[in-house]
C-alpha cells in the first residue's frame, strides 16, 4: 500500500495519505481536494558497516552500488 505526500493548495497543509484501491485523498485540515502531490523520499534502511568478521557479501547482477559488492546488488 503506497503512502503519498500532498500539499493542500487551499490551506497549504502538507500531509501524507495511505490510499487503497481507488480512494481519493482529502486534506485532513480543510477536507478539500485541491491537492498537489509531492515527491516522496524514503529510506531503505540504515547503511551497513562491514568488518573482517562480517565481510560484505559478493553478488552478481543488479547495480545498486552497495559499497563492497563490486557494483552488484545485495540489498535484502
DSSP structure string for 18-64? E--TT-----TTT----EEEEPP-----PPP---GGGPPP---S---
Q: Tell which wins on pLDDT, 70 or 30.
A: 30
Find the domain containing 34 and state its range.
3-38
Per-residue model confidence as pLDDT tens digits over 6-32: 999 999 999 998 888 888 999 999 999
Q: Is residue 30 part of a domain?
A: yes
pLDDT at 4: 86
Instruction: Report the number of distinct structural domains present in the chain.
Output: 1
Q: Is residue 68 part of a domain?
A: no
Q: Is residue 9 part of a domain?
A: yes
pLDDT at 51: 55
Q: What percent of the chain has pLDDT over 90?
A: 34
Q: Is residue 64 part of a domain?
A: no
| Helix, coil or strand: residue 54 | helix
Q: Is residue 17 part of a domain?
A: yes
Q: Is residue 12 part of a domain?
A: yes
Amino acid at each position: 500500500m503506497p503512502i503519498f505526500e500532498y500539499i493542500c493548495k487551499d490551506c497549504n497543509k502538507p500531509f501524507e495519505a495511505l490510499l487503497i484501491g481507488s480512494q481519493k485523498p482529502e486534506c485532513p485540515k480543510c477536507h478539500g481536494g485541491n491537492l498537489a502531490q509531492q515527491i516522496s523520499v524514503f529510506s531503505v534502511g540504515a547503511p551497513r558497516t562491514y568488518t573482517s568478521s562480517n565481510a560484505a557479501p559478493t553478488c552478481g547482477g543488479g547495480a545498486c552500488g552497495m559499497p563492497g559488492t563490486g557494483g552488484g546488488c545485495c540489498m535484502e
